[in-house]
Chain A
């Protein structure tokens, strides 16, 4: 898990700021779902179009699968959000987040001729904010910062010390 960075301060803190903002958003998405006992992904999945529609249909037609997906989604979002915000296993969290958010994008992509009954945030053509967030998470995974700003710094140091002191 050890990685070295040679960013400038400005580069580091810009990336940290991005990590915090996305962490904040994803953590709140998870907590909001947790706080609302009636939340379910049913409505979202029913709208599924394109390559994910088969999977979404399978999920919605099996109540136990649906509740499992809801549970995993809520806690997955919380875990990813905490990871990004506090910088714990932040690289893993960023990859997991990128994949999860990208599946959201694939479930309801803003393609030409594809229409959704759900309200859409802004005007989107192929690219939307979900896709952005997914790719931003890829950037965060590729340019990690949690070894500098984040609990990973401590974890990494403790691990290094156990492996034979500062080198």
Chain B
């Protein structure tokens, strides 16, 4: 071996050594990220355990270990049973909304919903296997809107959806006499509701009736008896209790998490002309259509005292007591239903109302500031209602108990009371913080959110406009009409049945009477009448 070759060999082995050494270092450096990833994994595990523990602690403290929330079958059911043929009595704004809930939309609405990117969501709505085959309205334009809506082929169910001819009826009597109508939706001004519903029940038609159910006690009694005897499925037009949050709130009440509830406060605030029922002008400020030639005024008045035709009365009927009971009939009805569905309070022992016309000083009879106190001495409970049409400050709907309170809107926020007996230990030990919501229900999540982070707390304090079922946003009115349709098919009782409607109707008539007569109104339970 020459010196040169020896030298080369040494060089090579040195290089190899260097290469091996570099390899070890390279591998070590290459893997340097692994322990960092391991640390992240460890921290994630710690965080998950911590949150699970904290949640478990609160859940155990509240006895919610075994809580189960009703899973809705929404969207799973295939359209079942026979096609149900529906007739609309009254086709104004509310009827348009009800049509949407049933799966029908006016062509101009389909266009605007498409532009607002809402149409696709709506087309995913469950197909109810119903057809609107009859429209009755005293105003030609509204009747035509109804026909166009019922005939529009752009709808959930697509081409498979039933397409039947749509007929216009001049009077609701004609519609009720027609055997090809199975069920009716009553969406007229309120003074017609009870009379039409009574006649519909007599004709054996199932009824979806918008609130208020009745303006007069004798009409309400007659309706109650007639529906009871006829066996038709009656649903009063409320929708908020269909929200998934309501079903969760029901569980909270059932488990007595709030302790003894002695006060429920309900409110409604609005601050617009439209919110104060001034609606005879369109968006551009021009008078809406309609005159004595196109509106059957005599039929519109019905059994109400005669008044000459005016667009003001036609569009803004809520302002007069002949057609409605103002905020009680339009707004408090929903509040009463919400509370009654949760607490089954029934008819109050007494009602005292007061208020006045303090802001909208037009020709109205209805007060724009109104406060009613409903007493339930047998249940140790006061229900309060306070409404105002000149401030839009949100005041919520709050159930107040000794151990906690629940604010219930589109979400439910439960806060422990700082002087609660039940949670005293939990508050002392720091598990429960009475200054922040103890539990909230996130309707988007559909589960208890016991550990409320800052952002979750924030969401809970806001409202959501629709409910979420199995991850889909659903219109609550759709769920309400769907329940009615399902009950027609399977003979079950809907949630806002005639019993609930009767209790609500009596409570509202008492509140209205108290305002008008400026005195406390009582319920005579023995003779079942208002005194």
User: Which residues of A does B touch, CB under 8 Å?
Assistant: 16, 20, 23-24, 27-28, 31, 35, 38, 40, 42-43, 57-58, 61-63, 82, 85-87, 117-119, 148-154, 157, 166
Contact = CB atoms under 8 A, between A and B. Distances in A.
A77 to B, nearest CB: 13
B455 A86 contact: no
26 contacts: A23-B33, A24-B36, A35-B44, A38-B444, A38-B446, A40-B444, A40-B471, A61-B119, A61-B120, A61-B121, A63-B472, A82-B37, A85-B36, A85-B40, A86-B33, A86-B37, A119-B454, A119-B458, A149-B29, A150-B29, A150-B33, A151-B33, A152-B30, A153-B26, A154-B27, A157-B23
A111 to B, nearest CB: 21
Contacts of B118: 61
B19 A149 contact: no
A54 to B, nearest CB: 9
A166 B444 CA distance: 58
Nearest 3 Cβ contacts at the A-B interface:
A38-B445, A153-B30, A86-B33
Given A154-B26, A166-B19, A58 B117 contact: yes
A35 B33 CA distance: 23
B37 A85 contact: yes
A149 B502 CA distance: 76
B33 A28 contact: no
A150 B30 contact: yes
| Interface of B: prevailing SS | helix
B30 A43 contact: no
Chain B: interface size category: 20 to 34
A157 B22 CA distance: 11
Given A20-B33, A61-B119, A157-B26, 7 more contacts: A27-B40, A86-B34, A119-B458, A149-B29, A149-B30, A149-B33, A154-B27
A122 to B, nearest CB: 13
B71 interface: no
B6 interface: no
B447 interface: yes
B121 A20 contact: no
| Interface of A: prevailing SS | helix
B179 to A, nearest CB: 40
A144 B34 CA distance: 18
A43 to B, nearest CB: 7
Contacts of A151: 30-31, 33
Contacts of B30: 87, 149-154
A148 to B, nearest CB: 6
Contact of B462 (A61, A63, A117, A166): A117
Contacts of A43: 444
A38 B37 CA distance: 25
A46 B34 CA distance: 37
Interface in B1-38: 19, 23, 26-27, 29-34, 36-37
Contacts of A24: 36, 40
B39 to A, nearest CB: 9
Interface string B110-133: 000000011111001000000000
B48 interface: yes
Contacts of A152: 30
B11 to A, nearest CB: 14
Nearest to A87: B33
